[in-house]
Chains A and B, each alone.
Chain A
Amino acid sequence: MHTPPEEHPVRAALSFHNISAIYIFVIMFIVFSVWIPEKFLQPGVWRSLLDAEALTGLAAIAALLPLVAGSLNLAVGAQVGFCAILSAFLLSKAGLPIALQLPAVVLAGALIGYLTALVITRLRVEPIIATLGMSSVLLAGMAWVSGSQQILDLGPDYRRIATTQFGGVTVPVYVLLVVAVVTWYVLERTPVGRRMYAAGYNPEAARLAGVDVARLKTGTLVAGGAIAALAGALLTSRINAGDPTVGPSFLLPALTAVFLGSTQFRRGRFNVWGTLVAMYVLAVGIKGLQLGGSPRWVNDLFYGLALLLAVALSQWEKRSARRR
């Protein structure tokens, strides 16, 4: 029988197909370095980028987990926002100490994920609709808790969580790194992760192979909710206020990173490192455009187009894999 030759492993790993985001990064780096070197090539710019985008990274992983098991979560932004407001509320209005406030917020995030899962698995509402509805409910909750105003007076200590540095790198970056490593380990190195991918790709076949698809979906939404809550708590610490307007804007960058990330490294599979690389590459693009003097709306345009392109790219990847 004729068998086609296997691709050379190193060449395949370095191909544009496999790591397009890194090639795009190199191109953008060169363009911005030539265009606006005095602004773009500053260490401070890069450090603040690393720090600011760590929260987007957490939101992206919060969206990634459910998506691996087949649920598209459109409520990620609202989850981050609600938990950010809740963090501020528990500190300033309820007067909870940080040692109680942080666990309470993470628990609340997990509970939100669990409720979403119940709607999806018990009431059989499509994930996209369930999370859209949940998103609106959370936005209402945010407005109610905050009275649609910033919550200030968080005390002097809370701000330090997100601003403390170790070796020139802030705490949120370390948090992201830990969450990413744990997520990578679960997804790629454990039976649970394998079953999650199977459930996401073909729920019926996974069920026939003995996988409890509903339980897995619930687990990913609960874990995603807890991670989104962590992002919310750090957000409030970082801006030293509970701001009801910031959270929802995390949704688009997070989803874009997850979909673009799926075209990186793992041949169309949603994965952690692809997600983070894609997210930082997109952030560098935005930063460069802002430093070059582009107006704010370019943000939305950039992420919107990037999301469309990323999903189109992952579809193309699927089709080309089928032809091969």
Chain B
Amino acid sequence: MVNKLPKTQKKYQLKIPSQSDNLALIRELIAKVASQVGFDDEEANKIELAVDEACTNVIKHAYNHNSNQIIDVLVKTDTKKITVIVSDKGLGFNPDKVKTPDLNESIKAGKKGGLGICLMRTLMDKVYFQIKPGQKNQVTMIKYIN
């Protein structure tokens, strides 16, 4: 979908049920758009993974596996960057309290999660959250073309 944007700017939106079997489709969209903008395979893989992590968090935590809910994935591109905004209307969280987990401690505690946000922050150039639980939670991820 393109809305009166300059030719170099494009916008794509996917509104999809909050189900883990949709992750593959979301990744496919992101990989194709990233490669069209000019990211090489390695960088496109990073964007794909970061978006997978954001959507997985929505499925597991914001919507607690309720597949009647919708994940909104908005992708904007221009000649310099890709911006992916993942939104939900589920439970929120405090992103400032999400610290990089100590892997050794997590393993000892038998903890098997908590790595997603850390990965998103590592893989993308900018990641920021706007949290309004029940209304709109949003994570914006930006990656620049080198």
Q: Do A and B come from one complex?
A: no
Which residues of A come within 8 Å of B, CB atoms?
A: none
Which residues of B come within 8 Å of A, CB atoms?
A: none
